[in-house]
Structure 1
């Protein structure tokens, strides 16, 4: 079965699962097929799936990961080497701009919501959606089994397999939602997201962790303050812990890169 044939198989299998799409037309173009497949995966509820589906999905997603290109976390320069930063533990901290789902760190951090089931909005641009889309339907199933209908408190963290991602694990954390003036409680909660992830990583003997910019997207935490909290919490943790050898601050937007670089270079 070719890559294109696998994509069509997965689309047809997902369409057949629901009575909502009896007359859905599937484009002949690979780009639109891929968008449709991602959207169908995004809205799929956590329910049993056939071993054949999993096998073909895993093959398809593994090929997507290969085509995007895996980035070695180990080879990303530390901020000491790249920027001559004097930040505490600068030799164990890196700044990298790009798609977090390309990193082969021991764990990448997902900015989740309280259900921990991923984003259900088709093809949404949030990191939660992107991570679930590349990991595969197993991630939502694993999160559902882990949560059993409960809600996750803000500032805590959970660990799951990364399935089809290059990383080994995903650390899921729920950041604070800012709807008005930023509060001290929200700042403390964001700091807790970083420390909870690091504590869980160290407990599970993980050596490298890549953080996304938690809460700065849909949750509207001010970017500069979020970066300040992230860097301080991580450097404070690394001062007292030797288990984690590398922490990567992963940013996707140039604005965030400039903010982090400014703090790192003036640290």
Structure 2
């Protein structure tokens, strides 16, 4: 198992980020009202997703579920050969869909393998629907498998070329819609957006406050305690 494991208690929520002035309110008003319930379960960090001790992590997988480069390769490497062996029994996965396996040597109990689209600007609307579907299907699988804490890698923004800012907006809007529907928010203790590339970090820092604005009482309050912060570990 990888060193420098980060537990759920060490990952700050949006509420804590706002209170610690680590996340600033959006300069543009969004369409959603502030929600303490959502801000208390959502998180964003820049860290190595293979070191998160959560119920499940979401892998940016390819259609063959065979492992590859980037986060996909890192997850397979950290999990060990048993992960690839189980993936080979799943008969691949369609773009926009997701499948679940055990986590093996990872600190996460399960891995959800979501296959994002390869970006081409002329097919933007279709590819956005597929990207949204990746996150929706992953959350559905999490609920079906009683995973109460889930960390997402940034799907499709690496070698698949999806523009970071556009991806973050689609993802945050889709996750928000899912959580606001059918009391789905109550089915999770934490949903974490785990960024690796600086461009993804900047995109989420920019758009999280637009889609999930702070409660008025959380703006500029006391700093979060040191133990709630995870150092960059990738």
TM-score after normalising by structure 1: 0.69
Q: Alignment partner for residue 213 of structure 1, among 147, 154, 172?
A: 154
Equivalence for 2:67:
118
CA contact (8 A) 1:94 1:246 kept: yes
Equivalence for 1:244:
188
Equivalence for 1:129:
73
Equivalence for 2:128:
187
The Cα shift of 1:92 comes to 1.1
Relative to structure 1, is the Cα distance of residues 92 and 204 closer, same or farther in structure 2, using a 3 angstrom cutoff? same
1:95 aligns with 2:52: no
Relative to structure 1, is the Cα distance of residues 189 and 87 closer, same or farther in structure 2, using a 3 angstrom cutoff? farther
Task: Point out where structure 2 has 5 or more consecutive residues left out of the alignment.
Answer: 20-24, 26-32, 212-234
Equivalence for 2:214:
none
CA distance in 1, matches of 2:168, 2:162: 10
CA distance in 2, matches of 1:181, 1:153: 21
CA RMSD of aligned residues (A): 1.5
1:203 aligns with 2:144: yes
TM-score after normalising by structure 2: 0.79
More helix per residue: 1
CA distance in 2, matches of 1:256, 1:173: 18
The Cα shift of 1:226 comes to 0.5
Equivalence for 1:24:
none
1:90-124 CA distance string (max 9 Å, x none): 211000101110101110010111111111xxxx4
CA distance in 1, matches of 2:118, 2:8: 29
1:52-87 CA distance string (max 9 Å, x none): xxxxxxxxxx3xx13xx1011233111122125675
The within-5 A match list for 1:165-176 is 165-176=106-117
1:141-186 CA distance string (max 9 Å, x none): 0000222xxx411111111001001100000010011134352110
CA distance in 1, matches of 2:189, 2:114: 21
Equivalence for 2:166:
225
CA distance in 1, matches of 2:50, 2:97: 22
CA distance in 2, matches of 1:207, 1:87: 22
Q: Which has the higher contact order (CA 8 A, sep 6+)?
A: 2
Q: Alignment partner for residue 258 of structure 1, among 192, 197, 202?
A: 202
CA distance in 2, matches of 1:115, 1:131: 15
Q: Size of the alignment, in residue pairs? A: 194
The Cα shift of 1:254 comes to 2.2
CA contact (8 A) 1:83 1:265 kept: no
